Amino acid sequence: MPDVFADLVGQDEAVVELRRAAAAAAAVLRAGAADRAPAPRTADPAESADADASGGVDPSAGMTHAWIFTGPPGSGRSVAARAFAAALQCVHGTGCGECPGCRTTMGGTHADVRLVVPEGLSIGVGEMRALVLRAASTPSGGRWQVVVIEDADRLTEAAGNALLKAIEEPPPRTVFLLCAPSTHPDDISVTIRSRCRVVPLRQPPADAVAEVLARRDGIAPDVAQWAAAAAQGHVGRARRLARDPEARKRREAVLAVPRRLTGVGAAFDAASALIEAAEAEAEASVTDADTTERAALETALGAGGTGRGASGAIRGAAGQLKELEKRQKSRATRAQRDALDRALVDLAGFYRDALTMALRAPVAPVHTDTAALAGAGAQKWDAEGSLRRLEAVLACRAAIEANVKPRIAVEAMMLALWKG
């Protein structure tokens, strides 16, 4: 395995900062071992700024207990957080990729690294309290307890408060790594934000994405180049497009939408097709997990179903199954929204291409394979009409994010795209 930061595409500045922090963290551990004292940090948040300087390391480069990784979807927030977690557990340096600390962290089996990946629409308070409690224990490997929270913007308010308490009075060897789209108060509370150091990631350039697809995944360079451009800087999406024919088919269906909008009826048909495609994609992605979970729970509950206390156990079992169904429904809703959002991003790319062509802007198209179609649109609609259509797609995304029913938002968008 190469260096743990190798897969963090096009984020050189962030990597430098994280390596420096990992080195400072290692110095803190060495100082602690030399003194035979507890960790040199105090738990008093008022002193946390000074405490960063412990171990004689440059405070601006130092280690801190709470971090937020921000950036657009696909820029590598969780990749960066995991790589940094590995660098903190690295026993040789700052993320060599070869030692047991690096390998187990990257493989997801390190005893002192906990990863929270919300499957539903939000992370609840119960989950967060349990996590905070476990994170306060002494690291079994003698280094750091690391908690990675993907999609920290999906914390419920109560869960956010539970986390805030832990961040305000951090156990000396605990590090929280949060991932969120931005530090906007909608994404992360101002109080949590004020306790964290922010690592901003940028949308990686298409060339850098293509390079990593070719190098790491062995994808042919021309396919990698096409997929990187089509995915608009989203590394995971680019890989899926390059490898998965179904993903390519779905994308083609989305990009056929502008051609199909020939009237009101066609607009409603296109809306239905888009919604149903998102539902089908989401179902394919969660069905296996649902079935496995339900079977596992039923097996666990099936043991000892008779005798004393059985009726109580049955009541408890019904409650647990209901809880599981609730969680699975929430996950399915999330998967549908994510699939629909990917489709809308593809569609926005098409109208963005039309707009740049109408303006004769010297930039490469997002979708090289529908560039001719976008060019025809640019002629017909001009810059203004292209911009209005692009805005209709973005308004649809915003409406769905604000909990407008997806079908209603998509129908309104299709009508706007047809009328211009």
Report the residue number, 90 or 224, with the smaller CB distance to Zn ion.
90
Report the residue number, 71 or 97, with the smaller CB distance to Zn ion.
97
Q: Do the Cβ atoms of 355 and 388 come closer than 8 Å?
A: no
Report the residue number, 15 or 417, with the smaller CB distance to Zn ion.
15
Report the residue number, 140 or 191, with the smaller CB distance to Zn ion.
140
Shortest approach of Zn ion to residue 143 CB, angstroms? Answer: 11
End-to-end CA distance of the chain: 51
Shortest approach of Zn ion to residue 91 CB, angstroms? Answer: 6
Shortest approach of Zn ion to residue 280 CB, angstroms? Answer: 42
Rounded distance, CA 309 to CA 305, Å? 9
Shortest approach of Zn ion to residue 77 CB, angstroms? Answer: 22
Report the residue number, 68 or 90, with the smaller CB distance to Zn ion.
90
Report the residue number, 3 or 411, with the smaller CB distance to Zn ion.
3
Q: Do the Cβ atoms of 345 and 238 come closer than 8 Å?
A: no
Rounded distance, CA 114 to CA 146, Å? 6
Spatial neighbors of 225 by CB under 8 A, at least 6 apart, are 206, 210
Q: What is the DSSP letter of 176?
A: E
Q: Which residue is nearest to Zn ion (CB)?
A: 90
Shortest approach of Zn ion to residue 302 CB, angstroms? Answer: 44
Report the residue number, 103 or 239, with the smaller CB distance to Zn ion.
103
Helix runs in 154-220, H state only: 157-168, 190-194, 206-217
Shortest approach of Zn ion to residue 87 CB, angstroms? Answer: 8
Strand partners, 155: 123
Rounded distance, CA 269 to CA 414, Å? 9
Spatial neighbors of 212 by CB under 8 A, at least 6 apart, are 7, 9, 235
Q: Starting from the edge strand earliest in sequence, which strands make up the sheet with 66-70, in order?
A: 113-116, 145-149, 174-180, 66-70, 197-200
Shortest approach of Zn ion to residue 101 CB, angstroms? Answer: 5
Return residues touching Zn ion (CB under 5 A). Answer: 90, 92, 96, 99, 102
